[in-house]
Amino acid sequence: MKTKSSFKNKLKVLGITGALLFSSLNMKDIKAAESYKLHNDVNTYYSAYDAKNKTNAVKKYGKGNYYIYKNYDGMVNISTVENQAGAWINPKENIALENGNTMYIKNNVNVRSGKTVNSDKVNYLLKGEEVIAENMGNWYKVVFNGNTGYINKNFISESYVSNLNYSNMYIANNVNVRKGPSTDFKKEGYLEKGSKVQALKSGDWYKVISNEAEGFVHKNFITNKPIIDSSTELANKIVNKALQYNGYPYVWGSKNPNVGFDCSGLIHYVYKSTTGDGLGASTHQQILRGKTVSRNNMKPGDLMFFGSVSNPFHVAMYIGNNKMIHAATPSQGVIIQDANNSWAASNLATVKRIVE
């Protein structure tokens, strides 16, 4: 077992010279098992492609020291365990201020692109939010959630400010998430009806946090009651039907519960018995149905296809709570597994929503 001191001795903090980490980072110098320091909370992604394009963020890794597992196309996979796959990050979101310190927002404030009140509003921070800040006279340069900007010195404090009482709420209708509490702010993401979020009220807007997006939505698009509609009820019915066959044997080409199932046979039987539509008998037929959704927006009942869009070799059903059910292999049969396991993450081609 490594001791804290041996870890510290091994630590090679990458890119600490210069105002921005990525400005001094040579990706060719990054090697597996080296240590990597996150200077601020950053988004993580399932793949290097998502990290490079900043799409389908999964969750955040907090600032601290991590191990490098691998790098690809300028993106880095980091983990808390040496020589073990973790999550992909975009180094451009790992921003280090040369003389930055942890500080707190004293009152709600616009974050601007420059050190004047006439500079563009690029983001918005609420009272009590934590940032990394560097004093630049009457203004502070701030870093938060992979973003940078400037706020006036009157809105920031070295002393802890408490005002972040988030509560569980739900998105009432599909809505764009914005960087600040106004339609003047750029879109930060998108949340679908029924999505559960952590929310904090700020005037007529709410600051919301979820795996899918973080930003602001208008009060008309949020509620404290779970959203249950007919599509949700049907999706739950489909999932519950699939769960009845957990543990059944894997039988190639079978759609018969008296015998067992292969992957597409399980999906065919479950959908046929609950909706009257079996979606086709093969993965190649089933992948043509429904609406494509991102991995990060999966809902119970959605179908996860593996391989490629043109040649899917496997299908599973997402059942919620980062789990999927599928007829896996002849030795495993129908099983429930982590939908984010390394095999699923590296082989997922697309996700289709059948029930709207």
314 as an active site residue: the answer is yes
Q: Which residue has the tokens 């972040």?
A: 164
Side-chain-side CA neighbours of 175 within 13 Å: the count stands at 26
Positive/negative CA dihedral, 192, 325, 77, 10: positive
Do residues 292 and 301 touch, judged by C-beta distance below 8 A? Answer: no
Between the CA of residue 347 and those of 72, 160, 329, what are the distances in Å? 17, 45, 16
Residue 222 CB contacts under 8 Å (≥ 6 apart), including other chains: 169, 170, 171, 172, 197, 199, 206, 208
Tell me whether residue 263 is one of the annotated catalytic residues: yes
Q: How many CA atoms lie within 13 A of 193 on its CB side?
A: 11
Strand-by-strand arrangement of the 222-223 sheet: 187-191, 175-178, 214-218, 205-209, 196-202, 167-171, 222-223
Given the residues 39, 268, 284, 326, the one annotated as active site: 326
Spell 316-326 as b/e; 16+ CB within 10 A means b. Answer: bbbbeeebbbb
**How is residue 336 written in tokens?**
């429930």
Length of the chain: 356
- What Å distances lie between residue 80 and 51, 77, 95, 309, CA to CA? 18, 11, 19, 33
Task: Please tell me which residue in 39, 218, 284, 314 is annotated as part of the active site.
Answer: 314
Catalytic residue among 39, 263, 268, 284: 263
User: Exposure pattern of 183-196 as b/e (b: 16+ CB <10 Å)?
Assistant: eebeebbebeebbe
- Known catalytic residue at 268: no
For residue 276, the one-letter residue type is: G
Name the one residue in this structure whose structure tokens are 């091994």.
10
By annotation, the residues acting in catalysis are 263, 314, 326
